[in-house]
Amino acid sequence: MSTTKGRSGSTRRGFLVALGATTVGGVLGGLLRPAQAARVMLRPPGALPDLGEFLGRCIGCRRCAQVCPNGCIDFLGVEAGLSQWGSPYIDPRNKNCILCMACTQACPTGALTPIGADTSEVASLVRMGTAEVDEHICLSFNGFTCGTCVRACPLEGVALRAGMYERPVVDPSRCVGCGACERACIQTPQAIRVRPAHGAPSLAGRS
């Protein structure tokens, strides 16, 4: 009889412990979720600045991704809403744009404006976003030297240059927002991130 009670008590205790762990985990998860910044993606280069016009013209044909040599273009699912479902985006933390402009030439509807691969044309016409440095976590602003992001920039010395102690200095008027700096940053979370210029989807939970 005592053995049955012992087993019953042990089972109840195990159930309560498991329930408590689940409850605490749920509470902690709820507390932590707001702290995760929503992942903001970039549109491919040449994307029309007006989101409504861009989505109206984009037919989701995926030709932009098919010609991308870096394989950096992906497509949104229903998590971004039905209006944006199937439209292209770039997550620079996964793979950044290499500014070849092949996608802009392949778009059949004008959702992506055709742009040549010439450096001067890219620098003047492409505005995917603007890189921003978080000085609170950037190594070069906190007693170390790094410069990884500067060396990764395809427009080094123009859009992004190294200041004293290799501190990254962004020229917002020249930055094209390709995401190479964000991709290269060795910090977690990244100390340099690209703020999208326009029409970018925000995917919660992908911080």
Q: What is the pLDDT of residues 39-85, one digit of tens each?
A: 668 999 999 999 899 999 999 999 999 999 999 999 998 877 888 89
State which of 6-15, 70-79, 106-115, 190-199 shows the largest mean pLDDT: 106-115
Q: Is the preceding peptide bond at 189 cis, omega within 30 degrees of 0?
A: yes
Return all residues near 8 (Cβ < 8 A) that are at least 6 apart. none
Range list of β-strands (E), the chain: 39-40, 73-75, 88-90, 129-133, 160-162, 168-170, 192-196, 202-203
Measure the CA–CA gap between 114 and 106, rounded to whole angstroms.
8
Residue 15 has pLDDT above 90, yes or no: no
Least confident of 6-15, 20-29, 112-121: 20-29
Domain boundaries, the chain: 40-199
* pLDDT tier for residue 21 given thresholds of 50, 70 and 90: very low
Model pTM above 0.85: no
Contact indicator for 187, 139 with CB cutoff of 8 Å: yes
pLDDT of 26: 37
What fold is seen in the domain 40-199?
A: Alpha-Beta Plaits (3.30.70)
